[in-house]
Structure 1
Amino acid sequence: MAVVDQCSSSLNLYVDSDDVKKLLGVNSQLWYVQNGTVNKYALGYVVVVPPHVDLLTFHWQALGGMTMPYNMSVQVGNREALAPPVYNISDQSIVPTYPSSWTIRLICTGKLTTQVDVTITIKVPMSTSLVNTPTLNIRRKKICLRGKVGGISERDGEVGGISVEVLEARHSTTVVYITISCLGVFLLVVAFLAIFNHIKNNKARPNTGRRRGTGASEQRTVGRSAASGGNVPNNQVSGDSGGAGKTSQSSLSELRRSPQPTNTTATTTTTTGSPEPQYTDPRLSDISAKLTGLSVNKETLKLLEVEQEGTFGRVYHAVYQPPDQKQPLSVTVKTVIDGSSEVQRSVLLSEGVMLAGLNHDQLLGVLGAVVTPPEAPPCIIFPRSSQGNLKRFLQGCHTLVTREVVGVGVQVLQALSFLHSRLLLHKDVATRNCVVDEGLHVKLTDCALARDLFPSDYHCLGDNENRPIKWLALESLAHKVFTPAADVWSWGVLLWEVMTLGQQPYAEIDPFEMSAVLRQGVRLAQPINCPDELFKAMTFCWTTAPRERPTVDELVIYLTNFQQHLDRYV
C-alpha cells in the first residue's frame, strides 16, 4: 500500500472478503484505510457493481479510543437511472470505537440501461488536530438495466421497503435543474463541434480526391459511439505518477506497435530486404501422414450419447480404450452421419487433425482416428472436456468476473503464441472453437464441424465458401490474406464474446455489408460491464492496418500486467 497519511489516531475502513468476492471474484479484503494508512491504489480503482448487487457494505472502526468525527456524502452521476442512495448512518457523526458496519443501497429506477458513477466522500480527521481533514473518495460504477428496479422487476413496486417514486420525488427539483444544465452544456458542445467541423472541412477541400484512412483513430462502434483510443470512458482516476491508473495507461500505450511492413503475401519483405516468416495453414498439411500415426481400430471406440448435432455432423460422448492403457477413457468424438458426401468426410478429416502432433496445455490434442473401413463415416477422437464447448458454456452462464474473462483471454493467446512460434495460423479463432474444463481451463481446438454445428456464425458471400465473416480481419475478408495479425483480430472478437457471454458480434449488420462497414471504421461496441482496459485491448486488435495491431505476446504481457494491477487493489 502507498502511505498518504499516518497519524497518532488511527482508522480502519475496508470491505470484507464476502462482498469483494461478489464484486471482483477475489476472496480477499479490500482495505481503504488500515491502521491510519490510506491505500491510494484502492481509492483510485473504480469497482463495477453488477445489476444483481444493490447493497454495499463497509466496515470501520476508530482505533486508540480517540473521538473521530466524520462527514459523509454520496454523489450520483445519473439520477434518472439511479435513485438517490439510501444509507443507514448519519451524514455527520462519530466513527465507532468498536468494529461496526454500515451499508449503502443503490436502487436502479429501471428507466435506462447504463452505468452510473457513484462517489462516496468521507471526511474524517486521522490526527489530534481537526485542521487537516483527509478526504476519502470511494468510487463505484453501478450497472442498471432497463425494466429492472433495484435488481428486481418493476412490478414489485418497492425495494428494501422504500418506494422508488418517493425517493425520486425528494429530488425532483434537483433533477430538473441538472437536466436543464446538461442540455445547455450539450448545445454548447454541439455548436463548438459544428464550428470545428466547418473549419476542418474548409481546410480539407483541396484534398477531396484523397481517400480518408480508417485506422484505429477513426474507428466507430456498433450501437455506441466510442473511438478505439482515448475517447473510450476510463475507469481509472488520474493521480500522481505512482498511481495505478497512470501505470495502466502507460503499459497500454506499449500495445501500439512501431510501424512495420504489412505482411500481405508469403513473399513480402521488409524494407531491409529480409524475408517475412512464411506462415502455413495446418489444414493443408499431409493428412495421410497424420492419419497413419493416429489410426485406431473401430472396436476400441464405443459411441454413447449425442452431445451436438448439425445437418451432417455429430459430436458424441464416447468411451475409448487406448491400446497402451488398461483403463478406458471418456472422450469426445467428431463424426459425420451415414450418407454424408465425400467432400464432407474430407473436410472433417483435414480440419479434425489440423492440431495433431502439437503438444501444448492450451491446445486440444487428437487421441486417435477411426478411418476404416473406408465406406464407414470417419471418427476423430479428442480428450473430453468437463464443460464442453466454450460458446455453449458462456451462453449458459449467469456472469463472469473480470479476473475470469482475462484468464480465458490469456489462455487462448498462449495457444496462439505456440502456433505462431511454429509458423502456423489458426484462421478461425472464436469461442465455438474452444473447450472448457473445471476452473475455466480453456483449450483452443480445431474448427472441424463448426460450420455445421454453428451455422449462424458462417456465411457464404457468393464464392461458394462458408467463412466466419464477422470474426475475420478486414484484409482476410476482402482479400483472403491471413497473417498472425489476422488471428489477433479474431481473438479480439473472441474476448468480446466472452465479455458478453456468447452474444453474436455485429448481429445487426448484414454479412454482405461487413467489408464496407469495417472500411468505414465501424467496430463492436464496448460491453456494458467491460472494463475500459480490456476494451482498449480489443480495439487495438481491430485496427485497419495489420502492422499496427499488437502481437500475441504483447497482448499476453499487457493482460498479465492488468491482472497484477487488479490484484494490487485488494
Structure 2
Amino acid sequence: MILLKLLVFMFIIAKPCYGYFNFFLNKAEVRKLMGLQAELFYVKEGVVNDYAMKFILQVPAQTQELHFTWENLAGKSLQYQVLVDISTPAALTSTLDISENGEIPVGNKQTWTLSLHCGPYDAEIDLTIRVKVFLNRRNETHLEFRRKKICLKAEKIHHLEEVLVAASGTTTGGQIFYAAIGCACAFIAAILVVIAAYYVRDKKTRRHRDPLQESRALSSACSVERGTGIGPAQTFLSPETPPPPSCASATSYRRLDDRPSRELHERIQEITVQRCRVRLLSIEMEGTFGRVYRGSYHEEGAITPRDVLVKTAAEHASQAQVALLLREGLALYGLSHPGLLPVLGVSIEDRSAPFLLYPHTNYRNMKRFLIRCKQSCEGPPRALTTQEVVEMALQAARGVQYLHRKRLVHRDIAARNCVVDDNLTVQITDNALARDLFPQDYHCLGDNENRPIKWLAIESLLSKTFTTSSDVWAFGVLLWELTTLAQQPYVEVDPFEMATYLRNGYRLAQPINCPDELFAVMAYCWAMSPDERPTFSQLIVCLQEFHTQLTRYV
C-alpha cells in the first residue's frame, strides 16, 4: 500500500506543467496581426501547437503593443519567466506591463502587454519572446515566439500630429474632411494600379502570343486512319479567341528563363509525328473534354510498333482547352531523367484533334494505383511497406530535383501527376488533362483559375507565387498521399477557407501507421516561411537516411 501511494505521488510530481495552462492570442490581437477573426492557441489544454510556434509574424509600423493571454488551469501556483531578445537594441526597446518573473493567476484569464518603442530611424528588427512556465525544476515548458517589427521615422511624426490635433480640439467634421481626402487619394491610386496592370498584361499577351499557332504548317502528308476515335476536325484558336467561360488555368509550368516562341516552335517541329503511324486501341482514362488512349506507334524504319499512351482532346473540347493540353504536354520536352516521363511526339495536323504521345511500359497513374490498393476487397494487390513508400518518394524527389536543376518549377506535384509500374518505379509527368481527369482535386475560387488548392503552399494561395519552395510544399502532400493510399487532403476544409486554415497553423494530421521520422519530413515541407523549407537535395538526404535505417531491420 505504501508503495502504491509512493507511485501515485511520483506520477503527480512528474506530470508536465504544460498540461495545466492555456496560452493564446485573443481575437483582437489576431485581427491586428493577421486580419483574421479567430483566436490562435499556442498551448490549449496542455497541447502545444508546434506549427504555430514556428510562425514569424510581422508587426506593422503602426502597431506599438503585442498582447498575450494565458490561463492557469492547474488550480495552484504556476511560475513563469519572460525574456525579450531584440536583434538591434539601438533601433527598438521594449517594456512589459508584468514582471519578468512571477506567477500566472489562478482561475482567471490574464492578458499582458509587451510595448515596443522604435528608435529614430527606419529598420526591420527581429524580436524573440521567450516564455518559461514551470511547477518545479523538472517540469518546465519553454515557448518561443518570433516577430519582425517594422520601424519608420514617419511613425513618430504621425503620432505627434495626432496628439496636436486632439489637443487643439479638432471637430468631428474636420476628421471627416481629412478622411474623405484620404479615401479619394486611395481611390485614385487604385485606378492607376488597375490601369498599369491592364497595360502590362496586354503588353505581355502581345509579346507571348501562343507559338502553337505558327505550327499549323507542320501538317503531314499522311492522312488519318479511319476508326481511330479521335473525333471530327478541330483547328487551333486564333489570337483573338476569348478565353473559355469555365475555369481553365494557364499552364502549370514556369521556366525561370522564358524561352522565345521561336524555340518552342522548333521543338514542336522536332517531335511532330505522322498521324497515320499511330493506332488507338483502347481508352485508359476519360474526362469531360479529354481522353487518354492506349495505342501503338510504328516509327519509320522500325520493324514492330511500340506501345504508347496518347493524350488527346475529345471532339467537343474548346480550342482553348486543346491549346492548354499542348502547352502543358510540351513542358517536359527535351528533358531526360529516369524520374521523368518524357513526351515522345506530338501531332498538330489541321482539321483533326491534336494529340501527345508518351512511351508506355506497363505503368499506370499513381493515384489510381493507390486507390485500387485501398479499395481491393481481398486486400491490396501488393501491400506497400514503409520501405517501399520511402523508395517511391525518393524516386519522385530525384525527378523534381532534376527539374529544379534545369530551372523548371513544376507547380502541380501530386500523385495524379505521377506514374508507377509493377516494379514500383515512379516517374513525374506533366499535368496535361489532370484538371479534367481528376476534377475533385481542382477548385475555382472565383478568379477564373482552376487550381489544386489543397496541394498549394500558403504563398501560392495568397499571391499566386510559385517557386521551388512551393514545389517542396506540394511534395509533402504527395508523401501524405503515399502513406494514406491517396486519401483526399483536407477533406473537411472548404477550398475557400484553405488560406485561413493554413495561416492559423493547421496542417494535415499524421496518418495511421506513418513513422514519426517520415511525418517529420512532411512537416518540414509545410513550414510557413518558404526559406525555412528544405530543398529537394536535403529531402533526398533525409529520406535516404531513413531508408537506410529501415533496411537494417528488414
| TM-score of the two chains, using structure 2 as the length reference | 0.55
Q: In the alignment, residue 545 of structure 1 is paired with which amino acid?
A: S
Match of 2:22 in 1: 197
Q: Aligned partners of 2:547 and 2:25: how far apart in 1?
A: 43
Q: In the alignment, residue 346 of structure 2 is paired with which amino acid?
A: A
- Say yes or no: does 1:466 pair with 2:450: yes
Q: Aligned partners of 2:506 and 2:255: how far apart in 1?
A: 29
Alpha carbons of 1:281 and 1:443: their partners in 2 closer, same or farther (altered >3 Å)? Answer: farther
Q: Aligned partners of 1:205 and 1:395: how far apart in 2?
A: 44
Deviation at 1:478, TM superposition (A): 0.8
Query: Is the CA contact (8 Å cut-off) linking 2:42 and 2:53 kept in structure 1?
Result: no
More helix by share: 2
Match of 1:309 in 2: 286
Match of 2:311 in 1: 334
Q: In the alignment, residue 297 of structure 2 is paired with which amino acid?
A: Y
Alpha carbons of 1:446 and 1:432: their partners in 2 closer, same or farther (altered >3 Å)? Answer: same
Match of 1:557 in 2: 541
Q: Of residues 375, 383, 386 in structure 2, which corresponds to 1:402?
A: 386
Q: Aligned partners of 1:381 and 1:353: how far apart in 2?
A: 10
Match of 1:511 in 2: 495
Deviation at 1:227, TM superposition (A): 3.8
Match of 1:438 in 2: 422
Query: Is the CA contact (8 Å cut-off) linking 1:358 and 1:365 kept in structure 2?
Result: yes
Match of 1:296 in 2: 273
Match of 2:340 in 1: 363
Alpha carbons of 1:414 and 1:462: their partners in 2 closer, same or farther (altered >3 Å)? Answer: same
Alpha carbons of 1:492 and 1:385: their partners in 2 closer, same or farther (altered >3 Å)? Answer: farther
**What pairs with 1:49-64 in structure 2 (closer than 5 Å)?**
none
Q: In the alignment, residue 197 of structure 1 is paired with which amino acid?
A: N
Alpha carbons of 1:196 and 1:294: their partners in 2 closer, same or farther (altered >3 Å)? Answer: same
Query: Is the CA contact (8 Å cut-off) linking 1:315 and 1:333 kept in structure 2?
Result: yes
Deviation at 1:288, TM superposition (A): 2.4
Q: Name the SS for the 1:443 alignment partner.
A: strand
Mind listing any 5+ residue stretches in structure 1 that lack a counterpart?
Answer: 1-176, 232-277
- Say yes or no: does 1:384 pair with 2:360: yes
Q: Of residues 520, 523, 536 in structure 1, which corresponds to 2:507?
A: 523
Match of 2:323 in 1: 346
Q: In the alignment, residue 462 of structure 1 is paired with which amino acid?
A: G
Deviation at 1:212, TM superposition (A): 11
Deviation at 1:541, TM superposition (A): 0.1
- CA deviation profile, 1:137-186 (whole Å, cap 9, x unmatched): xxxxxxxxxxxxxxxxxxxxxxxxxxxxxxxxxxxxxxxx9xxx99x989
Alpha carbons of 1:208 and 1:229: their partners in 2 closer, same or farther (altered >3 Å)? Answer: closer
Deviation at 1:405, TM superposition (A): 0.5
Q: Name the SS for the 2:395 alignment partner.
A: helix
Deviation at 1:400, TM superposition (A): 1.1
Q: In the alignment, residue 516 of structure 1 is paired with which amino acid?
A: T
Q: In the alignment, residue 329 of structure 1 is paired with which amino acid?
A: R
Deviation at 1:438, TM superposition (A): 2.2
Alpha carbons of 1:205 and 1:514: their partners in 2 closer, same or farther (altered >3 Å)? Answer: closer
Query: Is the CA contact (8 Å cut-off) linking 2:387 and 2:551 kept in structure 1?
Result: no
Alpha carbons of 1:544 and 1:303: their partners in 2 closer, same or farther (altered >3 Å)? Answer: same
Cα RMSD for the two superposed structures: 3.7
Alpha carbons of 1:395 and 1:283: their partners in 2 closer, same or farther (altered >3 Å)? Answer: farther
**What pairs with 1:114-513 in structure 2 (closer than 5 Å)?**
192-193=17-18, 196-197=21-22, 210=33, 227=50, 280=256, 287-372=264-349, 374-397=350-373, 398=380, 399-513=383-497
- CA deviation profile, 1:349-387 (whole Å, cap 9, x unmatched): 001111011011110011111111x22110100011413
- CA deviation profile, 1:258-291 (whole Å, cap 9, x unmatched): xxxxxxxxxxxxxxxxxxxx95288997542321
Number of equivalent positions? 335
Structure scoring higher RCO (CA < 8 A, sep ≥ 6) equals: 1
Q: Aligned partners of 2:30 and 2:307: how far apart in 1?
A: 65
Query: Is the CA contact (8 Å cut-off) linking 1:281 and 1:425 kept in structure 2?
Result: no
Q: Aligned partners of 2:51 and 2:370: how far apart in 1?
A: 26
| % identical equivalent positions | 46
Alpha carbons of 1:442 and 1:284: their partners in 2 closer, same or farther (altered >3 Å)? Answer: farther
Q: Aligned partners of 1:218 and 1:491: how far apart in 2?
A: 28
Alpha carbons of 1:284 and 1:379: their partners in 2 closer, same or farther (altered >3 Å)? Answer: farther
Q: Aligned partners of 2:497 and 2:30: how far apart in 1?
A: 27
Q: In the alignment, residue 377 of structure 1 is paired with which amino acid?
A: A
Alpha carbons of 1:474 and 1:207: their partners in 2 closer, same or farther (altered >3 Å)? Answer: closer
Mind listing any 5+ residue stretches in structure 2 that lack a counterpart?
Answer: 55-253, 374-379
- CA deviation profile, 1:290-333 (whole Å, cap 9, x unmatched): 21111111111001110100001000000101224322101100
Alpha carbons of 1:551 and 1:219: their partners in 2 closer, same or farther (altered >3 Å)? Answer: farther
Alpha carbons of 1:208 and 1:303: their partners in 2 closer, same or farther (altered >3 Å)? Answer: closer
Q: Aligned partners of 1:194 and 1:201: how far apart in 2?
A: 18
Q: Aligned partners of 1:357 and 1:554: how far apart in 2?
A: 26
Deviation at 1:529, TM superposition (A): 1.3
Query: Is the CA contact (8 Å cut-off) linking 1:319 and 1:329 kept in structure 2?
Result: yes
Which is greater in Rg?
2
Q: In the alignment, residue 569 of structure 1 is paired with which amino acid?
A: Y
Deviation at 1:476, TM superposition (A): 0.7
Q: Aligned partners of 1:376 and 1:518: how far apart in 2?
A: 45
- CA deviation profile, 1:385-440 (whole Å, cap 9, x unmatched): 41310000011112310111101111111011111111110000001001111210
Q: In the alignment, residue 308 of structure 1 is paired with which amino acid?
A: M
Q: Name the SS for the 1:355 alignment partner.
A: coil
- CA deviation profile, 1:216-267 (whole Å, cap 9, x unmatched): x9999xxx99745999xxxxxxxxxxxxxxxxxxxxxxxxxxxxxxxxxxxx
Q: Aligned partners of 2:400 and 2:265: how far apart in 1?
A: 25
Q: Aligned partners of 2:326 and 2:534: how far apart in 1?
A: 33
Q: In the alignment, residue 371 of structure 2 is paired with which amino acid?
A: Q
Alpha carbons of 1:210 and 1:452: their partners in 2 closer, same or farther (altered >3 Å)? Answer: closer
Alpha carbons of 1:478 and 1:396: their partners in 2 closer, same or farther (altered >3 Å)? Answer: same
Q: In the alignment, residue 561 of structure 1 is paired with which amino acid?
A: E
Alpha carbons of 1:444 and 1:283: their partners in 2 closer, same or farther (altered >3 Å)? Answer: farther
Q: Aligned partners of 1:219 and 1:194: how far apart in 2?
A: 13
